[in-house]
Amino acid sequence: MKIQAGHKQKISSNGNLLKPNTKTDSLKSNGVLKKTVWEYSKSIEDSKHIKLKSEYDLFIGGKWIKTKKYFETINPSNEEVIAKVAYASNEDVNKAVNAAEKAYDKVWSKISAKERGKYIFRIARILQEKAREFAVIESMDGGKPIKESKSVDIPLALAHFFYYAGWADKLELAFPGRKVSPIGVAGQIIPWNFPLLMAAWKIAPALACGNTVVIKSAETTPLTLYKLAEVIEEAELPEGVVNIISGDGATGAAIVNHPKTKKIAFTGSTEVGKLIMKQTAGTDKKLTLELGGKAANIIFEDAPIDAAIEGIINGIYFNQGHVCCAGSRLLVQESIKDIVIKKLRYRLKSLRVGDPLDKNTDVGSINSIMQLDRIKELVKSGINEGAKIYQSECSLPQRGYWFRPTFFSDVAQSHRIANEEIFGPVLSILTFRTPAEAIEKANNTFYGLSAGVWTDKGSKIFKTLSKLRAGVIWSNTFNKFNPASPFGGYKESGFGREGGRHGLEAYVK
Ligand code: NAP
Ligand code: MG
């Protein structure tokens, strides 16, 4: 290696040795060392310890049930098949709902609240023991960086089980002055961006309140839900209390339309949410919808700029931007627009895109080819409508589905990229001059899920957030979650809340 003697070895923040790029580490003729470009060594998470079957049947009535059709789930970072999973037909959905009804009538509605709590605690503790295995599988099946599944998805999912286990025998405190009772069978449908976490948001409060469950995973990410089924077996939950199935939109529709599902909890797109609302209208089903978003992240000129830059990066590039509450519309005060764009361009260069199982990866792969096509189509519209594009110049792996971290400046409110949910690593930057203009622009959306406000004035934070129409608002931070804190939307982002004491409301009558 052509490095001067005594040259210090560099260590990354996670303790890895940084390897010098030997192409650029050469001595010039005058003996001076050329500028060294330091590269991270690969640090691939060990996946040998994970246990996956090659084929997953449906988990119904505490048993693994075969069906007629199976489909493949792939790893989007290399397009390799990980396993086959069962496709639940209408007949299978019927079996699952009947199993849940039987479990509700015979067992779950009869046992004490304290017993219910114990089972949920048991699920939480087993999940905690298996957290590493779950994190690896979540990253393999969905493409998200291992550092995110390890530090966000899995810990938050099990924290929700712990949290709601605690509520099971305290419902009279959650609903003072009210005598509540469970509803019956809850039908639950979840998306692919946070599979285990979305399942925890739904299953834990449903069980705590005394309901039984039929839950369907998204087509591209069924695996951690079937691993959860194994945890449920290990926890010896009475059979049929939680039924886990996989399939496609038709499977979801069969859950919604089944006469015995008394409550529907849906997280997914606004388009499908509207369809479900129509289908449940006129029935006595309880409904909660957690839908899309187009959050405004507002940066005032007095904001701590470097912290805000990190908040912008976290807001839009976390989980490849596959986040319903992503800070996808950046509203920057005009006086600081140039410095914010300059710093963002610089920061984009250091985002590491690549293997989701590499602990140094910041941005993983796009979840599916369908999602990649949607991102590309919307980015093209941004260019055609006249916005200015900036993209990371990082190299991308040969196989798999990838999209460079991207942002657009000079975005007008009429542009599609300012209105439609891109659900990818693409940020749209708009500007404002006064606080009133910021609020008007932030609220100028069909959605109302989340928002961010960055300023060093506490009074400005309170004044702004009181006028924003969004379910969750972060100030001087972004994308922070806690099981005790309710989450949900306004307008076309849906209704009902998940998380916190509020999350219990949907599961009682
Ligand atoms: P999606 O297409 O609406 O699908 C969501 C779930 O619904 C999937 O399990 C899907 O099955 C199923 N489904 C599809 N058509 C259905 C139908 N007609 N009836 C019943 N179920 C049906 O959404 P997605 O693309 O998976 O997820 C991305 C969307 O979710 C984004 O819009 C995002 O903002 C939203 N999201 C919202 C939140 C929130 O808390 N507000 C959280 C996460 C994501 P298949 O996968 O098999 O098609
Ligand atoms: Mg997959």
Which atom number of ligand 1 is nearest to the Cα of residue 255? 20
Where do runs of H (alpha helix) occur along 395-457? 416-419, 435-443
- Four-point Cα dihedral 477, 478, 482, 484, nearest 10: 80
Class of domain 296-482 (CATH, top level)? alpha beta
Q: How far is the CA of 126 from the centre of ligand 2 (A)?
A: 24
In which order are the strands placed within the sheet that holds 69-75?
Answer: 55-56, 80-87, 69-75
pLDDT confidence bin for 40, thresholds 50/70/90: confident
Contact indicator for 358, 42 with CB cutoff of 8 Å: yes
Task: Please tell me the distance from the alpha carbon of residue 287 to that of residue 12, in angstroms, as a whole number.
Answer: 48
Task: Please tell me the distance from the alpha carbon of residue 310 to that of residue 298, in angstroms, as a whole number.
Answer: 13
Mean pLDDT computed over every residue of the chain: 94
Answer whether residue 346 shows pLDDT above 80. Answer: yes
Closest ligand to C-alpha of residue 222 is 2
Which atom number of ligand 1 is nearest to the Cα of residue 275? 18
Closest ligand to C-alpha of residue 143 is 2
Residue whose CB lies within 8 A of the most ligand 1 atoms, among 188, 285, 324, for a mutation test: 324
Domain boundaries, the chain: 2-39, 56-72+82-291+493-507, 296-482
Tokens found for residue 408: 């657009």
Taking only the tens place, the pLDDT of each residue in 366-398 is: 999 999 999 999 999 999 999 999 999 999 999
In the chain, the percentage of residues whose pLDDT exceeds 70 is 93
SS3 of 509, please? coil
Task: Please tell me the distance from the alpha carbon of residue 486 to that of residue 494, in angstroms, as a whole number.
Answer: 14
Which atom number of ligand 1 is nearest to the Cα of residue 498? 40
- Four-point Cα dihedral 57, 60, 62, 65, nearest 10: -40
Taking only the tens place, the pLDDT of each residue in 391-421 is: 999 999 999 999 999 999 999 999 999 999 9
Q: Phi/psi at 386 (nearest 5 deg)?
A: 105, 10
pLDDT confidence bin for 454, thresholds 50/70/90: very high
Identify the pLDDT of residue 397: 95
In which order are the strands placed within the sheet that holds 10-11?
Answer: 10-11, 17-20, 38-40
Identify the pLDDT of residue 1: 34
Check pocket membership of 222 for ligand 1, CB cut-off 6 A: no
Identify the pLDDT of residue 6: 36
pLDDT mean over 235-249: 98
Answer whether residue 26 shows pLDDT above 60. Answer: no
Check pocket membership of 279 for ligand 1, CB cut-off 6 A: no
Task: Please tell me the distance from the alpha carbon of residue 370 to that of residue 456, in angstroms, as a whole number.
Answer: 41
Check pocket membership of 250 for ligand 1, CB cut-off 6 A: no
Tokens found for residue 471: 């379910």
What amino acid is encoded at 326 in this protein?
Answer: A
Check pocket membership of 291 for ligand 1, CB cut-off 6 A: yes
Q: Whose CA is nearest to atom 21 of ligand 1?
A: 252
Which atom number of ligand 1 is nearest to the Cα of residue 487? 40
Where do runs of H (alpha helix) occur along 385-471? 416-419, 435-443, 458-465
Contact indicator for 295, 472 with CB cutoff of 8 Å: no
Taking only the tens place, the pLDDT of each residue in 48-82 is: 999 999 999 999 999 999 999 999 999 999 999 99
> Catalytic residues, which ones?
290, 324
- Compute how many other C-beta atoms are within 10 angstroms of the C-beta atom of residue 37: 11
pLDDT confidence bin for 39, thresholds 50/70/90: confident
Identify the pLDDT of residue 161: 98
Residues contacting residue 105 through CB under 8 Å, at least 6 positions apart: none
Taking only the tens place, the pLDDT of each residue in 254-277 is: 999 999 999 999 999 999 999 999
Identify the pLDDT of residue 32: 58
Taking only the tens place, the pLDDT of each residue in 309-342 is: 999 999 999 999 999 999 999 999 999 999 999 9
Q: Whose CA is nearest to atom 40 of ligand 1?
A: 290
> What is the topology classification, in CATH, of domain 56-72+82-291+493-507?
Aldehyde Dehydrogenase; Chain A, domain 1 (3.40.605)
- Compute how many other C-beta atoms are within 10 angstroms of the C-beta atom of residue 129: 11
Taking only the tens place, the pLDDT of each residue in 472-489 is: 999 999 999 999 999 999
Check pocket membership of 274 for ligand 1, CB cut-off 6 A: no
